[in-house]
Amino acid sequence: MFGLLAASIVAPNSVRAQEKAPAKKRPHSESRTPYVHRIQLRDDQDNPISIPKPDPAAKDKAPEIKPPSIAFTCGKCHDYPTISSGWHSNAADPNVPAGRSGEPWILTDDGLREDTKGPLPSNTRTQLPLSYRGWDGTWKPSEIGFSDWDFAYAFGRQLPGGGILESSKDIRFNVTGHLQNDCLVCHIADNDYDGNARYEQIVKKQNFKWAPVVAAGVGLAEKSRERLKDTWVAGEGPKEPTFDYDLHRFNDEGHILFNVTRRIPNERCYLCHTSLATDKSQSGGLSQIWRHDRDIHLVKGMLCVDCHRNGLDHAITRGYEKESEDRKDTHLASLTCQGCHYGAGDHATGSDLGGRNAAPRPVHKGLPTLHFDKLSCTACHSGPYPGDQAKEMLTSMAHRLGTESFNRTDQAAPTLQAPVFLRNPRTGKITPNKVLYPTFWGRLNGNDITPITPDLLNTSAALRKIFGPKPSLDGQPAKPLTEDEIVKALEAVALMKPVAPKSAQATTKPTTTTASAPATPAWYTGEPVFVTGGKAYKRAGNGKLTGFTNKDAEPYSWEFAHDVRGAQQALGARGCTDCHSSGAPIFDSKVSTAALFTGASTSIPMHELRNEAMGSFTAFATTYPLRPILIATGYTCAIILLLVLIAYGSRGVTGIARRSARKS
């Protein structure tokens, strides 16, 4: 009873409290000068928090002050529920259109909560794309029995919070607190926000509740909630870990200064959106950032938010070509590459006069306009310069860049590759993509494969023995399994039976999914399969595997647009033969299937991934050396024709003149 009460109070309290007062009057400065946020913190009951002055006499005894709530502190003046409806928080909202596929959250063995009393987690090699948005090729967490809390634990380090992470009824949130929408993770202007502290509070201490304020340097939460049971209730049993204010950050009035800005520095975005090609490593070491040029726009002084703009609803402009259609807002058309550099053609807003902020109008000398119908701007201008092979990439979301690691390598799992030139089905244009070939264990029912989460695999002692322990060092490449190991593992998976869950564990699964979940989850039925390298493998008897294609084994790809390379480094800057020649990257660059099955990895040329016949392109490329002959012939003919026209034209004019003179 008390637990239920506590759950209803602690969980989505902030959201509900805000929703109760939609007409709340909020102060505004209406100026481009940032308002100085020297403010009083508020607690999770929306009460102002009084901060006493530091007392040097009471060294060891910190005053008891209620911990702060970001939602209520920021929500005093800002419309928190509206802000929380933005892209960074609304993924699980079924009423929000999924939009263009983006980078998924990739579940690996690193993202799991370790049971300190249980066996060591094993090296399942899982690389599974998850998204609440239901993008094709990804799984919703509930589809694989991954709870909202599990998701928050695995990825909350680089999710601002809010949405399902603030409103989920998973009971573990009662212990850890929810992840409120963390305004400060983006809006702190002076690099004082400690992303690594946020990560440690979430993953190492399970202090979800205080992760934002600890990261923002408001105070410290040194104790962990890791050992608190799911049934723990505040005020009963073990004491709740404390949040200790850094009193020196407060002035005499008990106000704290947050240097927040609307014009968010790029470095804040990079906490979660860094993307590094690993082709610039030094002696096998980690990718050397100093060897990479940044996006040309940032080098020229722009901010990410100059293009990726948003209103209060935080529906940040993504900048892709059809976004204005998707969101039914013509204004957004001017916030694409084309819209900004050519103008969006809207006479009413003047955008037909040219691009925004005097963005240089591309000249594209000698480039037949046909190319603009076949290629996105990003195909030639974005990402690492393409070569014979797509490069392995590290990203913040997939590889925890921005958080501390002593061991991360360039080949760290999951294996992401870019640029991979695929055709956008909506625009028909070739665009650069990042690609992940998923690797996971699952069960085949009909044509559908249901993945099995690593934590479920870890419940099997036989599987743990086959997989071996998870590498003690983080950020390591995944080691392929042999055919024998995979067969044995599939046999062990076949023997896995549904275990009657302990009542507490059962309730950690989202209530939203249990209602529609079948009696026996799909990951316990059907033929066990191992998916890797674009194929699914099942047992063929005699200790062998048989591979087959399946839609659920296909690679997942998502378009990217950064870093943008300037005109001099664009594909085609060296001439037509950048693409119209044998072995041109846009057609023939190869993508590894990165199979974690020994000997099963292959390299696939990009035109094959696009299912494109190469006959005409090859013929075109082959005849390219004849182009000068064609040009010479054309000009010779044009000159002769011009001479003939001049000669006989002047003769005709003279004749007409003579005739009219004779008549007169």
Q: Residues interacting with another protein, by CB under 8 A?
A: 362-370, 372-374, 615-617, 619-620, 623, 627, 629-631, 633-638, 640-642, 644-645, 647-648, 651-652, 655
Q: How far is the CB of 350 from another protein (least distance, A)?
A: 19
Name the amino acid, one letter, at 422.
L
* CB neighbour burial string for 541-580, b if at least 16 within 10 angstroms, e if fewer: eeeebebeebebbebbbbbbbbbbbeeeebbbeeebebbb
Nearer to another protein, 499 or 638 (CB): 638
| Smallest separation (angstroms) from another protein to the CB of 330 | 22
What's the burial of 98, exposed, middle or buried (CB within 10 Å: 0-12/13-18/19+)?
Answer: middle
Give whichever of 524 and 620 is closer to another protein, judged by the CB atom.
620
Shortest Cβ 646–another protein spacing (Å): 11
Between 198 and 580, CB nearer to another protein? 580
Provide the minimum distance between the beta carbon of 190 and another protein in the complex, in angstroms, as a whole number.
42
Q: Contact 55/63 with Cβ under 8 angstroms?
A: yes
Minimum gap (Å) between residue 110 Cβ and another protein = 45
Q: How far is the CB of 661 from another protein (least distance, A)?
A: 15
Beta carbon of residue 612, minimum distance to another protein (angstroms, whole number): 9
Instruction: Judge contact between 90 and 163, C-beta under 8 A.
Output: yes
Q: Which is nearer to another protein, 370 or 515 (CB)?
A: 370
Nearest to residue 462, comparing CAs of 430, 433, 496, 439? 496
Euclidean distance between CA atoms 581 and 619, whole angstroms: 10
Compute the least distance from the CB of residue 563 to another protein, in Å.
23
**Nearest Cα to Cα of residue 598 among 1, 142, 125, 273:** 125
Residue 229 or 627 having the CB closest to another protein: 627
Of 259 and 618, which CB lies nearer to another protein in the complex structure?
A: 618
Residues 6+ apart with CB under 8 A from 8: none
**Rounded CA separation 244/65 (Å):** 8
Amino acid at 525: T
Q: Which is nearer to another protein, 501 or 634 (CB)?
A: 634
Tokens of 454: 């690593």
Whole-number minimum distance, CB 369 to another protein, in Å? Answer: 5
Residue whose C-alpha is closest to residue 84's, from 178, 190, 201 = 178
What is the DSSP code (8-state) at residue 353?
Answer: G
Q: Which is nearer to another protein, 540 or 640 (CB)?
A: 640
- Distance in Å, CB of 198 to another protein, minimum: 46
Burial of 147: CB neighbours in 10 Å, binned 0-12, 13-18, 19+: buried
Nearer to another protein among residue 407 and residue 622 (C-beta): 622
- Quote the CA–CA distance of 6 and 234 in Å, as a whole number: 8
Contact criterion met (CB below 8 Å) for 240 and 232: no
Q: Are 335 and 302 in contact (CB under 8 A)?
A: no
What's the token pair of residue 634? 């054309």
What's the closest the beta carbon of residue 317 comes to another protein, in angstroms? 25
How long, in residues, is the chain?
664
Alpha helices in 168-313 (DSSP H): 172-176, 183-187, 195-199, 211-215, 266-273, 296-299, 304-307
| Cα 329 from Cα 454, distance rounded (Å) | 42
Query: From CA 428, how far away is CA 270, in angstroms rounded?
Result: 30
Query: Whose Cβ is closer to another protein: residue 377's or residue 531's?
Result: 377
* Min CB(421)–another protein separation in Å: 17
Closest separation in Å from C-beta 506 to another protein: 58
* Rounded distance between C-alpha atoms, residue 175 and residue 231, angstroms: 8
Least Å distance between CB 536 and another protein?
A: 34
Report how far residue 592's alpha carbon sits from residue 523's, in angstroms, rounded to the nearest whole number.
28
Q: Which is nearer to another protein, 506 or 641 (CB)?
A: 641
- Residue 288 or residue 633: which is nearer to another protein going by CB? 633
**Residue placing its CB nearer to another protein in the complex, 312 or 629:** 629
- What minimum distance in Å lies between the beta carbon of 568 and another protein? 14
Q: What is the DSSP string of 467-520?
A: H-BPPSSSSPPPPPBPHHHHHHHHHHHHT-------HHHHTTS-HHHHTTS-SS
35 or 372: CB nearest another protein: 372
Is 135 or 342 the residue whose CB approaches another protein more closely? 342
Burial of 308 (0-12, 13-18, 19+ CB in 10 A): middle
To which H or E segment does residue 539 belong?
strand 535-541
Q: How far is the CB of 641 from another protein (least distance, A)?
A: 4
Q: Which amino acid is at 21?
A: A
Place of tokens 């036989």: 462
CA–CA separation, 447 and 449 (whole Å): 7
Closest CA to 550 of 533, 564, 563, 565: 533
Alpha carbons 466 and 486: distance in angstroms, whole number: 9
Report d(CA 366, CA 501) in Å as an integer.
67
Task: Select 257 or 657, whichever has its Cβ closest to another protein.
Answer: 657
Task: Find out whether the peptide bond into 68 is cis, omega within 30 degrees of 0.
Answer: no
